[in-house]
A and B are shown apart, each in its own frame.
Chain A
Amino acid sequence: MVLSAPPRSAPAPQRPKSTKSTGLKPRRRIKSATRMDAFAPYMYIAPFFALFAVFGLFPTVFTFYVALFDWNPIGGQTFIGLDNFVTLYGDERFWNAMRNTFSIWILSTVPQLLLALFLAQLLNNVRLKFANLFRMTMLVPYITSVVATTIVFASLFGRDYGLINSFLNLFGVQSIDFAANTFASHIMVSTMVLWRWFGYNTLIYLAALQAIPKDIYEAAAIDGAGGFKQFFYVTIPSLRPVIIFTIIVSTIGGLQVFTEPLLLSAPGLTGGAGRQFQTLSLFMYEQGFGNFQFGYGSAIGVTLFALIVVFSVINYLLSRRITSDE
């Protein structure tokens, strides 16, 4: 039902017609205003839907279409059905990018969320001093751009003069060529992701912790639950929705890691000489904008969409099962 101003039978009050009045106007104006009011809600939400239709939905659907073509922006397009997908799933470079993406995703997400949970637990104490300082500095990485982050970490992880290798040398450990070694390069990229997001996740967890009613802990303590039991039986189950949320968001983010490997592999797009840290997103960019194979690149995009959907569902089901089996 549409809320609208009832027609006023009483004569219009003789208030001064200042612009500050709440809008008392002659009857005719009110009528036209109500007709407008029925449409108003649609007008208010229209900009978003228009923008989304043109720049969100349409490109997304169109990706699926382009993926069915041998589509070169200059040379034209030929319909080839599912050939792009057949080629893609037989392409060793694709599986390599897939392995790298998952390795980097696991290496960044797991320690990041555990660290965030731990720090949130520490921060959740009203007697803590400098609480605001801790919260604020943890958010600084979030406002730092990925480009800047990557440049800094590339220097810290440098083979010859990198601070991390200098530190390792102090203990007699040989310098590691982080960019050349597959596993080491994954650690390097994951560290950048972890650094940027751990504080953000800590704050989300902290907010959820503060929302847990205190009497649940009280009841648990009366039942004889100590700190650890309280953590596993009260804190973790209460945080379940937020944990699921952070896992899904990190998965979506993790499958899209792009800037770090791109900048680390400059000037090429291969993610290291042997593609040792090329992710799926970078592979898509390489095919789409490096080789101008829009069809093949779109097939990678479609595959990424599918992966994200599948993993969001799996994460959701898995997290629900794990936490309800406690």
Chain B
Amino acid sequence: MTTSTPDSVATTPHRPLKRAFAGRVRWWTYAFLFGSVLLSAFPLYWMFVVSTNDSAAVSQTPPTIVPGGNFFVLAEQVFTTVPFVQSLLNSFIVAGSIAISQMILCTLAGFAFAKLEFRGRDPLFIVVLITMMVPTQLAVIPLYMIMSNLEWIDTLQALIVPGMASAFGIFWMRQHLSTVLNNELMQAARIDGCSTWQIYWRIAFPLVRSAGFVLGLLAFVTAWNDFLWPLIVIQSPENYTVQLAIKALQRQYFVDYGLAMSGSFLATIPLLILFIFVGRKMVAGVMDGAFKG
């Protein structure tokens, strides 16, 4: 066997493939990517720097960019200026309820759309898809009137109930259920006498537990970070969510950045901790097409 021309010709088809997907990684690739890491992380680092220094340190020229030892002083100030613990608790209640409810309701609806046959299924699913495109945020004035008629103004359920199910969640769970749950399995269960509910609860739900978890996470993050709607609905400080509490730390005409950033930092910690444990899942969720309108 000759090892000259024929062999090298035979290997050529593989080279372009390697160039596209497994090429040598140049140094500037890392430079750009580390740059983007810096871009992503620096504002949070700065938040930490300001919330651990006294205001003199950050208002000198040039400002200090290393953390100081003032964290507990500022943190205590945050807790005495606004009902921060209560706000954290409220945010957990709101975001947690929304996450759990979305996991249950969207999986149920997704299951129906993916695996059950019923009259009007396809048109109804198109309606679900269309609602993903409608920005309901712009209808806050009538929504406020509804809440006012329900006498839900200044209550947490005004924040929870509208977010309990989402078109995106249904779409997301339907996609996962239609790929994961096969018809033979369902038919077998039917023949064994399983009701639809039993199929859902014993077969479908366990199969898509992890996709449901990702949906719950995304719903939790969105609800935790929501600002406009709580700002409109909530009035009393004891019903504040953390976002409202941070906003309240911003004084009238002069912003005490040390205080405001300590609050922001304290409000971001729970999500950062969550992210450390489930970040990979969330990245996978976003890359899986966790498009959110």
A-to-B contact residues, CB < 8 Å: 1-6, 8, 22-25, 30, 33-34, 36-38, 40-42, 44-45, 47-49, 51-52, 54-60, 62-63, 66, 73, 115, 118-119, 122-130, 132-149, 151-156, 158, 160-161, 163, 166, 169-170, 195, 198-200, 202-204, 206-207, 210, 214-215, 217-218, 220-222, 227, 230, 245, 249, 252, 256, 258-259, 263, 266-267, 281, 284-285, 288-289, 294, 297-298, 301, 304-305, 308, 312
Chain A contacts for B143, CB-based, 8 A: 55, 59
Chain A contacts for B137, CB-based, 8 A: 256, 281
- The reply to whether the CB of B37 lies closer than 8 angstroms to some CB of chain A is yes
In whole angstroms, how far apart are the Cα atoms of A288 and B232 in the complex?
Answer: 10
The reply to whether B189 and A22 contact each other, CB–CB distance below 8 Å, is yes
The reply to whether A128 and B25 contact each other, CB–CB distance below 8 Å, is yes
The reply to whether B227 and A145 contact each other, CB–CB distance below 8 Å, is yes
- Min Cβ gap A240→B in Å is 15
What are the interface flags for B263-293 relative to A under an 8 Å C-beta threshold, 1 for contact and 0 otherwise?
0110110011011000110110011110111
Chain A contacts for B186, CB-based, 8 A: 3
| Most chain B CB inside 10 Å of its own CB: which residue of A166, A170, A312 | A166
- Min Cβ gap B3→A in Å is 23
Which one of B37, B162, B190, B202 lies within 8 Å of A55 (CB-CB)?
B162
Chain A contacts for B141, CB-based, 8 A: 59, 63, 66, 288, 294, 297-298, 301
Listed by A's residue number, 10 A-B pairs whose Cβ atoms lie within 8 Å are: A3-B117, A38-B118, A47-B164, A48-B128, A60-B136, A73-B148, A127-B25, A137-B40, A156-B46, A281-B137
The reply to whether B43 and A195 contact each other, CB–CB distance below 8 Å, is yes
Smallest Cβ-Cβ distance to A284: which chain B residue: B138
In addition to A41-B118, A47-B164, A54-B146, 17 A-B residue pairs with Cβ atoms within 8 Å of each other are: A25-B193, A48-B170, A49-B124, A51-B161, A60-B138, A63-B138, A123-B33, A125-B22, A138-B36, A138-B37, A147-B243, A148-B264, A151-B250, A153-B43, A161-B61, A163-B46, A258-B228
Of B74-82, B107-115, B206-214, which stretch is located at the interface?
B107-115
A249-B291 contact in complex given A48-B128, A66-B142, A301-B141, C-beta closer than 8 Å? yes
Smallest Cβ-Cβ distance to B183: which chain A residue: A3
- Min Cβ gap A326→B in Å is 19
Closest 7 CB pairs of A and B: A221-B16, A148-B264, A59-B139, A62-B142, A59-B142, A207-B287, A145-B225
Smallest Cβ-Cβ distance to A121: which chain B residue: B29
Chain B contacts for A204, CB-based, 8 A: 286-287, 289, 291
Chain A contacts for B58, CB-based, 8 A: 155, 161
